[in-house]
Homo-oligomer: A and B are copies of this chain.
Amino acid sequence: MPDQHSLAEVERATRERVQHLPLDFTASHALLSLYRAANAVRGRLTNSVLRPNDLTWTGFLVLWTLWIWDSMETREVAESVGISKGTLTGVSKTLLSRGLLERIPSTVDRRLVNLKLSPEGVRLMEQIYPEFNKTESTVVGDLDKVQLTSMTDALRTLVETSERY
């Protein structure tokens, strides 16, 4: 692993730097850990599973979402994956060109376009996801059941609080 400053070191340095300000260090450290953890997990999954299959993180999330929900309007896919509509247009173009996706224009409302996994897309997900999930399992392997459940609950609360507005 790189010589990245450990989280503990960063926190100590932070306190020294802004000691005189009335800050919420607990919040700051929690969210720094959150950001680092998300980044680390994403990198790990990307390198070990996605890149060998020539998939990007976002591309995989789009495929996974369509795999779970079968068919969706592009607007819903973007929301579900957490990217903008414009970004989805680009990503789905990439996946479309690889034959992993199908576009199905709505007959009811001609503004709408539905996305759907192609048979090849389904095959790819059936092949990749077990491997992806195995790595996920490894990544959380150092947490016991109580810690993991508690963390998941806390993260859900964070999502709700952050998105409230």
Contact = CB atoms under 8 A, between A and B. Distances in A.
A108 interface: no
A41 B34 contact: yes
A160 B44 CA distance: 11
Interface residues of A, number: 72
Contact of A139 (B21, B27, B69, B153): B27
A103 interface: no
Contacts of A141: 161
Interface in A17-63: 17-18, 21-24, 26-31, 33-44
A158 B43 CA distance: 12
B139 A158 contact: yes
A155 B37 CA distance: 6
A76 interface: yes
Nearest to A16: B68
Q: Which of A10, A34, A151, A155 has the most CB of B within 10 A?
A: A155
Nearest to A21: B130
Interface of A: 1-5, 7, 10, 13-14, 17-18, 21-24, 26-31, 33-44, 67-69, 76, 79-80, 82, 129-130, 133-134, 136-143, 145, 147-165
